[in-house]
């Protein structure tokens, strides 16, 4: 424990403090307007009432401070140090990859919209965020019906002999084939930007003016197009709920229980609520400091920064944070704690979302524990199978054989621990030998300190289970339960007209007869889901390898096409499909490809295409 003299000697300047445990491990990084005042607050008698702080302070052996000139510099340094040390008691959003935005680069020729994860400062326009790629794609799907912008890279489209299918269904204006003027396409882009920015009323007013101008000039087809566009926009806008007078706003709400903090972000764009994000995080310190730390971490990434941020509590160093956001965004952002009116109602709505999300997660966790407890009882497992792994093999007559391993924690996929294995030592279609290789590679890592599961599931019957138990026995791994899950079989007795399906069976080591759980029971459905996920993961990897092999082999078999020319062809056209569809003249443009070689490539690939290779 630090003595009071050390704390009294700390400077009263802005800066960053690092709380360290044994062996100098950084436990927490924080910022402060006055370092001495902030650090002293952790050691006052009152802090004993804040039990969540006590747990941290009992581990602190030393505090290091770094003085900065301004609060904003302290904020930036805090972000840098958190990324460097990843302290246990700070928020960690490193693995959060679920937010998406729409990107439009106005400097492109015939700009198009794309879905991206990050929002760098590159001069492009970004819209969102959206809760998932599916949500962003749905927005694009509806947008293309109103504003038919191009879907694909311009060079890819121009290599086609005719416009793509999206042009045929009136969801692309085919600028790549000159079927719309740059001016008219620019008008579509402007309309899409206004629409995505939530400025629908301004867009409607603009289109009405253009419709009237076209009608006055007796350009009735153009006027009719604007009329249809207005109708489509008004139908879409009617579905959106206006929650504020306008502008882009993020609203923060939170729910706290013990050392768990649920934070909800509402995203308002152009006065309309477009979505929300919920975060469930461990937090040991004060609420206000937790909100500030979360926001610093979240907006420190490449995300859309709004005009205004509404927060539920007064934040420490809020002026510096607003300055940081404005500088990162390129224009002013305000950070406000509303006390009345519509903005306060929005904060309360965000808090309600946070509470609801926390309750739903608690219920899912309780349901998951109930299922795992039932599974433990049915399979007579020594401990609750919180972490379950499953392994599967995929091959086609022994070719491009692969293995997969998936992990589930508390009944949910833990994709950070999914593993793919390319079979190295087995030739021919020998699933048992392939499974032996995959499991051996997996559990040798356990001897090097890798985490072990509570239960391992193998897709198959007693034979596959014997492979698993032999490996565990040889490696001296004793505290891991094992089982195999055999799929149900379809049978029909001689002379019978009806087909019967057997139950799914679970085989356990040392037990001759399988365990048969009630069909469609939650424990069996969980095991089947894990087994099917392992199978899906293996099949996906297998198809990827087969596709890669078939793509490259088409060029590898052509005389005169070596690695350098193959690379040049794929770089120029983007894919083997495009190479296959290219004419002799287009092939001859590629550096290193002569006219004679272009004829050979075209002939060979055309023959492969006809032969279905």
Extract the tokens encoding 457: 């599931």
Q: Which residue has the tokens 């700070």?
A: 90
Least reliable range by pLDDT among 46-50, 277-281, 282-286, 592-596:
46-50
pLDDT of residue 386: 93
Residue 599 pLDDT greater than 60, yes or no: yes
Which tens digits make up the pLDDT trace of 149-179? 998 888 778 878 888 888 888 889 999 888 9
pLDDT of residue 502: 67
User: Which one is predicted more confidently, 241 or 362?
Assistant: 362
The answer to whether 260 and 283 have CB atoms below 8 angstroms apart is: yes
Within a 10 A sphere around the Cβ of 181, how many other Cβ atoms? Answer: 11
- The answer to whether the Cα torsion of 562, 568, 573, 574 is positive or negative is positive
* DSSP character at residue 438: H
* Nearest in space to 389 (alpha carbons), one of 462, 478, 470, 451: 451
The answer to whether 124 and 103 have CB atoms below 8 angstroms apart is: yes
* Nearest in space to 91 (alpha carbons), one of 313, 282, 358: 282
pLDDT of residue 236: 54
Extract the tokens encoding 483: 């089982």
Which tens digits make up the pLDDT trace of 505-532? 899 998 888 898 888 899 999 999 999 9
* DSSP character at residue 384: -
pLDDT of residue 48: 44
Residue 227 pLDDT greater than 90, yes or no: no
* Domain annotation for the chain: domains and CATH numbers: 4-85 (3.40.1440.10), 100-198 (no CATH), 249-359 (3.30.420.340), 387-535 (3.30.420.340), 557-611 (1.10.150.20)
User: Whole-angstrom Cα distance, residue 445 to residue 449?
Assistant: 7
pLDDT of residue 262: 94
* Nearest in space to 531 (alpha carbons), one of 483, 499, 469, 570: 483
Mean pLDDT for 32-41 is: 86
Q: Which long-range contacts (CB under 8 A, 24 or more apart) does 38-42 make?
A: 38/316, 39/7, 39/10, 39/63, 39/65, 40/7, 40/10
User: Whole-angstrom Cα distance, residue 395 to residue 449?
Assistant: 30
DSSP3 helix / strand / coil % (the chain, rounded to 5): 45, 20, 35
The answer to whether 303 and 121 have CB atoms below 8 angstroms apart is: no
User: Whole-angstrom Cα distance, residue 182 to residue 169?
Assistant: 21
User: Whole-angstrom Cα distance, residue 14 to residue 352?
Assistant: 35
- Top-confidence range, 59-63, 396-400, 520-524, 604-608: 520-524
Least reliable range by pLDDT among 86-100, 226-240, 574-588:
226-240
Residues with Cβ within 8 Å of residue 338, at least 6 apart in sequence: 310, 344, 346, 347
pLDDT of residue 11: 87
User: Which one is predicted more confidently, 233 or 255?
Assistant: 255
Least reliable range by pLDDT among 61-65, 310-314, 578-582:
578-582
The answer to whether 226 and 215 have CB atoms below 8 angstroms apart is: no
Residue 608 pLDDT greater than 60, yes or no: no
Going by DSSP bridges, is the β-strand pair 308-310/334-336 parallel, antiparallel, or unpaired? parallel
Which tens digits make up the pLDDT trace of 401-459? 888 899 999 999 998 889 888 888 777 677 788 888 888 888 887 666 678 899 999 98
pLDDT of residue 95: 47
* Nearest in space to 29 (alpha carbons), one of 84, 71, 96: 84
- Top-confidence range, 1-15, 20-34, 250-264: 250-264
Extract the tokens encoding 153: 């890279």
For the chain, give the longest Cα–Cα distance. Answer: 94
Burial of 40 (0-12, 13-18, 19+ CB in 10 A): middle
pLDDT of residue 613: 36
pLDDT of residue 610: 46
What Cα–Cα distance (Å) separates residue 269 from each residue in 129, 200, 243, 248, 272?
A: 10, 11, 10, 4, 5
The answer to whether 276 and 334 have CB atoms below 8 angstroms apart is: no
Percent of the chain with pLDDT over 90: 21
- Looking at every residue in the chain, the average pLDDT score rounds to 82
54 — pLDDT class (breaks 50, 70, 90): low
Mean pLDDT for 41-69 is: 71
Three state DSSP letters for 270-301? CCEEEEEEEEEEECCCCHHHHHHHHHHHHHCC
Least reliable range by pLDDT among 207-211, 336-340, 368-372:
207-211
User: Which one is predicted more confidently, 94 or 267?
Assistant: 267
The answer to whether 434 and 427 have CB atoms below 8 angstroms apart is: no
pLDDT of residue 496: 57
Extract the tokens encoding 297: 């971490």
User: Whole-angstrom Cα distance, residue 70 to residue 13?
Assistant: 9
Strand (E) or helix (H) holding 81: helix 71-85
pTM: 0.66
Residues with Cβ within 8 Å of residue 580, at least 6 apart in sequence: 554, 605, 606, 608, 609
pLDDT of residue 49: 45
């Amino acid at each position: 424990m630090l003595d009071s003299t050390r704390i009294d000697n700390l400077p009263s300047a802005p800066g960053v403090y690092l709380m360290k445990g044994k062996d100098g491990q950084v436990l927490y990084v924080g910022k402060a307007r006055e370092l001495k005042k902030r650090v002293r607050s952790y050691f006052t008698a009152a802090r004993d009432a804040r039990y969540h702080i006590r747990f941290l302070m009992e581990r602190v052996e030393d505090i290091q401070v770094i003085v900065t000139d301004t609060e904003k510099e302290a904020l930036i340094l805090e972000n840098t140090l958190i990324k460097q040390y990843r302290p246990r008691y700070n928020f960690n959003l490193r693995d959060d990859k679920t937010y998406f935005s729409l990107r439009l680069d106005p400097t492109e020729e015939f700009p198009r919209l794309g879905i991206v994860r990050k929002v760098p400062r590159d001069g492009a326009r970004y819209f969102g965020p959206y809760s998932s790629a599916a949500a962003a794609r749905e927005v694009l799907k509806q947008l293309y019906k109103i504003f038919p912008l191009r879907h694909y890279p311009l060079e890819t489209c121009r290599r086609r002999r005719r416009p793509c299918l999206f042009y045929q269904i009136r969801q692309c204006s085919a600028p790549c084939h000159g079927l719309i003027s740059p001016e008219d396409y620019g008008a579509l882009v402007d309309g899409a930007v206004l629409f995505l920015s939530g400025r629908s009323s301004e867009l409607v007013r603009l289109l009405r003016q253009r419709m009237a101008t076209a009608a006055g000039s007796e350009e009735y087809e153009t006027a009719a197009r604007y009329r249809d566009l207005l109708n489509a926009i008004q139908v879409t806008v009617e579905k959106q709920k206006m929650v504020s007078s306008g502008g882009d706003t993020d609203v923060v709400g939170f729910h706290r229980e013990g050392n768990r903090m649920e934070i909800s972000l509402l995203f308002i764009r152009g006065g309309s609520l477009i979505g929300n994000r919920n975060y469930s995080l461990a937090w040991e310190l004060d609420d206000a400091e937790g909100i500030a730390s979360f926001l610093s971490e979240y907006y420190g990434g490449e995300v859309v920064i709004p005009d205004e941020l509404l927060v539920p509590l007064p934040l420490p160093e809020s002026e510096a944070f607003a300055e940081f956001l404005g500088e990162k965004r390129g224009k002013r952002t305000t950070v406000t704690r509303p006390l009345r009116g519509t903005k306060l109602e929005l904060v309360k709505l965000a808090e309600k979302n946070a509470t609801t999300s926390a309750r739903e997660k608690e219920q899912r966790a309780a349901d998951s524990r109930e299922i795992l407890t039932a599974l433990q009882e049915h399979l007579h497992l020594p401990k609750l199978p919180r972490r379950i792994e499953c392994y599967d093999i995929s091959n086609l007559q022994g070719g491009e054989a692969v293995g997969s391993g998936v992990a589930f924690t508390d009944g949910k996929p833990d994709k950070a621990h999914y593993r793919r294995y390319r079979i190295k030592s087995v030739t021919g279609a020998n699933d048992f030998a392939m499974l032996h290789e995959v499991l051996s590679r997996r559990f040798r890592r356990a001897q090097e300190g890798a985490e072990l599961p509570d239960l391992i599931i193998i897709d198959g019957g007693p034979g596959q289970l014997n492979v698993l138990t032999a490996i565990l026995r040889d490696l001296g791994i004793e505290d891991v339960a094992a089982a195999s899950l055999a799929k149900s079989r379809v049978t029909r007795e001689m002379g019978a007209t009806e087909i019967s399906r057997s139950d799914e069976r679970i085989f356990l080591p040392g037990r001759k007869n399988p365990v048969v759980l009630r069909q469609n029971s939650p424990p069996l459905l969980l095991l089947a889901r894990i087994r099917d996920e392992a199978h899906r993961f293996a099949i996906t990897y297998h198809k990827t390898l087969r596709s890669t092999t078939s793509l490259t082999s088409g060029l590898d078999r052509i005389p005169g096409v070596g690695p350098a020319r193959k690379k040049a062809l794929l770089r120029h056209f983007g894919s083997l499909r495009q190479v296959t569809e290219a004419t002799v003249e287009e092939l001859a443009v590629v550096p290193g490809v002569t006219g004679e070689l272009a004829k050979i490539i075209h002939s060979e690939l055309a023959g492969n295409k006809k032969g279905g290779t």
